[in-house]
Amino acid sequence: MIQTTNGKKLWAVGGGKGGIGKSIFTLGLAISLAHLGKKVILMDADLGGANLHTLMGVRYPAHTLEDFLLKRVENLEDIVLDTQIAGIGLICGADDILGAANPTYSQKIRVLGQIESLPADFVLLDLGAGTSYNTLDFFNYSPGKIAVFTSQATSLQNVYGFLKNSLFRKISREFPKDEYVLWLLYQSGSKSPEVKVESINDLLTHLQRKDEYRHEELLQLLRDFQVLLVVNMIKTDRDFQAAQIIQHVSHRFLELAPQVLGHLHYDQAVEQAVNQMVPFPLNADKSRAAEELKDIAQVIIDKFAPPPSLREAVDQKEEEAAAGGSWSSFWRRAPA
């Protein structure tokens, strides 16, 4: 059962492997949140392989993250594009400039420093595939963390590797000057380790013997490192076991306790939507996957959204009443 925590506005969606439907999930989640009366900004954080604008039917975005990275604009909010979906803004990724996939530290700090101040109830980051430092840093910076994967063995391996690398990156950033902690992290990946560190529990044991204070700090970091799991493209009952596998290995080797946010069944309507450049689930709002997306969005609102003020609550009810029924009423095709 998902535990209620403090409100989270910024959410990163990762998974480590390409082709698992991560971008489609992120977009579908945004649409579902908007349908439930929330204002959402999508940011394509796949630096070097941005495609979220294509899924939204935007062929030639007027502004991209390039404008912010190169300081053509001062504020991140200045490059938020109005979309054809009510309640959703879009920040397009920058994949057409040299170095966009590897921004400097100062560029990354500028982006991270302004993300949470964007005018929205939720900001969703669609991360790129792999485990580059940029991808891991965006994931770790976000209070809300979602890992998407399928039941395929390669996807399970990749999402576990993604979580492990994210955690190790987090530890190394939180203990940058602690040579002993960094040395223990190095031992865990060494082919000829000087001490046995096959799991985070081993690391904790060694650290406790040397520095009780640091040991407690690391325990707190592990408690704060909360990840939600989404299994995509479910085809059989056996596929539901994928989340349990990740929970088991994460607990055994990483001392993490990821919670299951939801499952999404395989749906041919998704592929049709991509080919037609119509954001899913706008053209299939009664499909099983669309209903599951709505359920996931409702859980996020109920369990993790910051409580609205009285005025915001009234505005939300008015927006929901005006929105009405089908999700397709939220969208009209963008000009080519």
Per-residue pLDDT of the chain (336 residues; tens, 9 = 90+): 555 456 789 999 999 877 888 989 999 999 999 999 999 999 988 766 667 777 776 777 888 888 888 889 999 999 999 888 889 999 988 655 444 556 777 777 888 889 888 999 999 999 988 888 888 999 999 999 999 999 999 999 999 999 999 999 999 999 999 999 999 999 998 889 999 999 999 999 999 999 999 999 999 999 999 999 999 999 999 999 999 999 999 999 999 999 999 999 998 888 887 777 778 877 777 789 999 999 999 999 999 876 664 335 445 544 544 444 443 344 343 433
CATH class for the region spanning 10-306: alpha beta
Q: What is the pLDDT of residue 325?
A: 42
Regarding pTM above 0.85, the answer is yes
**Would you state the pLDDT for residue 61?**
80
pLDDT digits (tens, 9 = 90+) for 247-268: 999 999 999 999 999 999 998 8
Q: Give rounded-to-5 percent helix, strand, coil for the chain.
A: 50, 15, 35
Residue type, 89: G
Whole-number Å distance between alpha carbons of 164 and 254: 7
150-186: per-residue pLDDT in tens?
999 999 999 999 999 999 999 999 999 999 999 999 9
């056996």: which residue's tokens? 238
Contact indicator for 255, 204 with CB cutoff of 8 Å: yes
**The predicted structure's pLDDT at residue 95:** 58
- Looking at residue 102, its pLDDT comes to 64
Give the per-residue pLDDT at 311: 37
pLDDT of residue 100: 53
What pLDDT is recorded for position 159? 97
pLDDT of residue 277: 73
DSSP state of 331: B
Domain coordinates of the chain in residue numbers? Answer: 10-306
Tell me the Ramachandran region of residue 178: left when phi exceeds 0, alpha when psi lies from -120 to 50, beta otherwise. Answer: beta
CB 234 within 8 A of CB 266: yes
Q: Which residues pair with 10 in a beta bridge?
A: 123
- The per-residue pLDDT for 313 is 45
- pLDDT at 221 (0 to 100): 98
Report cis status (omega within 30 of 0) of the bond before 281: yes
